[in-house]
Amino acid sequence: MRTRIVAPDELESFVGSVIGVRPWVTVDQPMIDAFADITSDRQWIHTDPRRAAAGPFGVTIARGYLALSLVTSPMNDAFDVDGFTVAVNYGVNRVRFTSVVPVGSRLRGEFRLRSVERTPPGVRAGISVTVDREGSPKPACAAEIVLLFVG
């Protein structure tokens, strides 16, 4: 599902609505390893499949922050807001990592517009995101992201 919001004034009419769902993405070991390289955090539960096989989950798992970082690209695939020059990240509220993400898991993001506030540079929007893990009753991550639409 992809939503196109064609004018800044239309944004308020979507408060409370799901504005996009990103297709499934597979979290594989190369993705987990690349995230470890970027963050300089190579904890064995994420990067050592042999050692992780004997660990509490039986396989490597992705960091919660990797699941959260996957929100940015899915947002671009899930919804468009026209009438602004740019959208920038303003912040993240109340992040929770509610289940582990074993290697090979498939994740997707659902985005619900929670609030819209007009500000001098544009519009600040609170968007709740749920990162679902296929086959899991609990999401991998839940957060409220805040975007600032400028121009």
Question: Could you read off the pLDDT of 75-128 as tens digits, one per residue?
Answer: 566 666 777 788 888 999 889 999 999 999 999 989 999 999 988 888 899 999
Question: Could you read off the pLDDT of 38-75 as tens digits, one per residue?
Answer: 999 889 999 999 999 999 999 999 999 999 888 765 55
CATH of the domain at 79: 3.10.129.10
Instruction: Tell me if 125 is assigned to some domain.
Output: yes
Range of the domain at 99: 3-26+64-150
pLDDT band at 151 (very low <50, low <70, confident <90, very high): confident
Instruction: Tell me if 92 is assigned to some domain.
Output: yes
3-state secondary structure the chain: CEEEECCHHHHHHHCCCEEEECCCEECCHHHHHHHHHHHCCCCHHHHCHHHHHCCCCCCCEECHHHHHHCCHHHHHHHEEECCCCEEEEEEEEEEECCCCEECCCEEEEEEEEEEEEEECCEEEEEEEEEEEECCCCCCCEEEEEEEEEEC
Instruction: Tell me if 111 is assigned to some domain.
Output: yes
pTM of the predicted structure, to 2 decimals? 0.84
**Based on the structure, what is the number of domains in the chain?**
1
